[in-house]
Structure 1
Amino acid sequence: MKRDAKTALLVLTLALAPVPALAQDTTDTASTDTTTTTTTTETRDQDGMDWGWLGLLGLAGLAGLSRPKHTAVHTTTTTNQTPR
């Protein structure tokens, strides 16, 4: 039952992740006549390191830590002794 609940929660979380957030804009545009221009320069200084690959390697390293599946092995030994 726990596994079904975890699966359902994961599915719901992944389904709601791409929902965009919306906000109301209550500013009155009729009374505002000023225009502001902003120039933004984006700099990326990663020194040649692609951090996404490092994250994927980390996840691959965690894959071996999953719990093994439990299997039960039952053996029965019968000894037949003949009386002499």
Structure 2
Amino acid sequence: MSHHLFKALAVTAALALPVSASAQTDTTGTTDTTTTTTNDGGGFDWGWLGLAGLIGLAGLGGGSAPRRVTTTTTTTNRR
């Protein structure tokens, strides 16, 4: 496996891991909060689209320069 591909896979795997958030707890009193969440994504998980984009970008980085080939032909006429 090439070094660039391994690096891209490692970064992609690290970004795909879920991370939980922690916050400080208010111990001075009790507060009731109601939160309403609206999902306008239509059931589509946008994280997969981002992951596909990262995989697509991984192929663009670090490519070697195009190779230049020069061919020379010599013709000799004898009499």
- TM above 0.5, yes or no, is no
| TM-score (norm: length of structure 2) | 0.39
Q: Whose relative contact order is higher, 1 or 2, with alpha carbons under 8 Å and at least 6 apart?
A: 2
